[in-house]
A and B are shown apart, each in its own frame.
Chain A
């Protein structure tokens, strides 16, 4: 177990790539702020769970993987989806339930997927996505491919039994899996440290006999480094790694939630001193990788993309209700009788 500090040097990555990380984080933030507002205006059926404050986790992790690698998300997954390369327009239209949505309105916020991009679904079942990542890793091993997979779950998920069944199987079979607990300290209204026996998720994981580390999730560089190392180990046959990435969500569990379980002070402390985007911006600026002009371009581009996404979602037609029960199973269309 290692806690990683935020003073790591910038990674050995091209400056343009570092700026791309920042722009994706800014895009996620802009998208989430807009989506939160749209949810409050009733535009998003069923509401949704914003990950504002958690941008560094998604971007740091996704950029440490190859494009063919697999990521599975949680119910709070817009940041994972955008970091994996889904278009904001497709994601927002999906949240709207429109035909132009990335899944034609079938999935929605908790079931975003794009298999071509390696996004194997956000998942409405706490801990469920990790299972799909586990199986994908097994499939990759059986096929002898170089693909690895990464499964996200939350600190709430860390108290489900299935997460540990999955971790155990990945460990004993040495599967190419990166297990990421995105610990934002709360499960809906439940303060995780009050309901987590032993108090330490990383220590729990270490008991399964795999490397387990605690990482600063507000530092995109720290997340990137940890996931890159874990991915390398997985790809070279070294088996799974467990990462507990400590982060924080600024908003409630879902849009519009009235928050009584934490103080506004606490939120302000995270926002002012630990904001992943501000901190990374400062580091890039200090290192001479980013100018103020470039930063305004990044912010403007994000705003333009999100505005376009809103227009697209608004204008996109509704899916055809007649298609609602289609494509459930090929067996439904299987032939009648034989011998």
Chain B
């Protein structure tokens, strides 16, 4: 039993997380408008809740991976579902990533809906063939659906060079895979529902630093379409397109520069493949300036694709070249001091926004 002191510490810890990571409530246009406050959850419990609701709705959904039944996965992402649904629906596997994904691919082709939980996306390298050569190509080669979800935690946190790979660009570059990367509990649950109701493989990435982020979650049928971006904060001067933990930085930076008269429109892409270019381009046509914020390395990373898509779709509306603020082309080191040297942070985002908003003519924003 937790004593009063532990309970208070836990409450304080959660409040701290909420302060650090809180993401805005859904846009008022579509948010629950009743007097009832919307249900709150963390990023991780939103995933659990989404899995539970969908597992109840569809008996063919099951999850497999290491350390799931008791431990609930390394991020408690399926905590409690093991005892609740039994060992056939929350299946513990040996550490055999190729076998896990292969089992998921074949089972999906056979009419079930497996979720393969890799815990860390870095481990997908051991199953790259099963994901990229098999899952992603089955519909194309054979017109057979593969309703497979491969969930993993992604994004840079602690853990060194082999637990912090930004693999989203690899999967974005794979025809046949959808790649989602939610930034808040609402989208975790809503995108999971889309993934589990679709017919094609989805790589479902969740940022480690957002694990405890709190926010409202939708009900059983609040489905977030894959391929739909969200305007987090409307603005007139600069479009800031980002995803995952970038949304947290973007909101803070946008708030910081708003006092200087820079009105930033923040867009959470939510899905990297397919990209919602329409929403981003429409925004850039209004603002004339675009910053793409991404912690993945710059070279051939998601930001490169997003920047190119903006140039293609809104070039004549741009007052400045599209600016990219990204991670450096480097593996991730151990020391927090070194990590800080590689990744965009709030200050760098503020700086990039200021330069971009004030630049005019040939005076190039990024230097």
Contacts and interface: CB of A to CB of B under 8 A. Distances in A.
A70 B129 CA distance: 21
Contact of B140 (A106, A131, A138): A106
Taking chain A's interface residues, is the majority helix, strand, or loop, or is none over half, making it mixed? helix
**Contact-residue bracket for chain B:** 35 or more
Given A132-B109, A329-B176, A336 B276 contact: yes
Contact of A113 (B111, B141, B199): B141
B93 interface: yes
Contact of B103 (A103, A115, A169): A169
B250 to A, nearest CB: 18
Given A113-B142, A161-B98, A336-B228, A135 B274 contact: no
30 contacts: A103-B142, A106-B141, A107-B141, A113-B144, A128-B130, A131-B98, A131-B99, A131-B101, A131-B102, A131-B105, A132-B102, A132-B134, A134-B102, A135-B104, A138-B107, A138-B110, A142-B62, A142-B112, A166-B99, A169-B96, A169-B99, A329-B139, A330-B139, A331-B198, A331-B274, A332-B274, A334-B178, A334-B226, A335-B228, A336-B278
Interface of B: 26-27, 29-31, 60, 62, 88, 93-94, 96, 98-112, 114, 129-130, 133-134, 136, 138-145, 175-178, 198-202, 224-230, 273-274, 276, 278-279
Interface residues of A, number: 47
B106 A337 contact: no
A331 B227 contact: yes
A134 B110 CA distance: 11
B155 to A, nearest CB: 22
Interface in A35-77: 70
A273 interface: no
Contacts of A203: none
B111 A143 contact: yes
Contact of A165 (B99, B107, B229, B273): B99
B106 A162 contact: no
Nearest to B28: A339
Interface in A110-147: 111, 113, 115, 120-121, 123-125, 128, 130-140, 142-143, 147
A165 B142 contact: no
B99 A168 contact: yes
B279 A337 contact: yes
A143 B107 CA distance: 10
Contacts of A106: 140-142
Contacts of B26: 339
A139 B140 contact: no
B28 to A, nearest CB: 10
Contacts of A133: 106
Given A330-B145, A330-B198, 15 more contacts: A103-B141, A115-B144, A121-B141, A131-B98, A135-B103, A135-B104, A135-B110, A142-B112, A169-B94, A169-B99, A329-B176, A329-B178, A336-B228, A336-B278, A338-B224
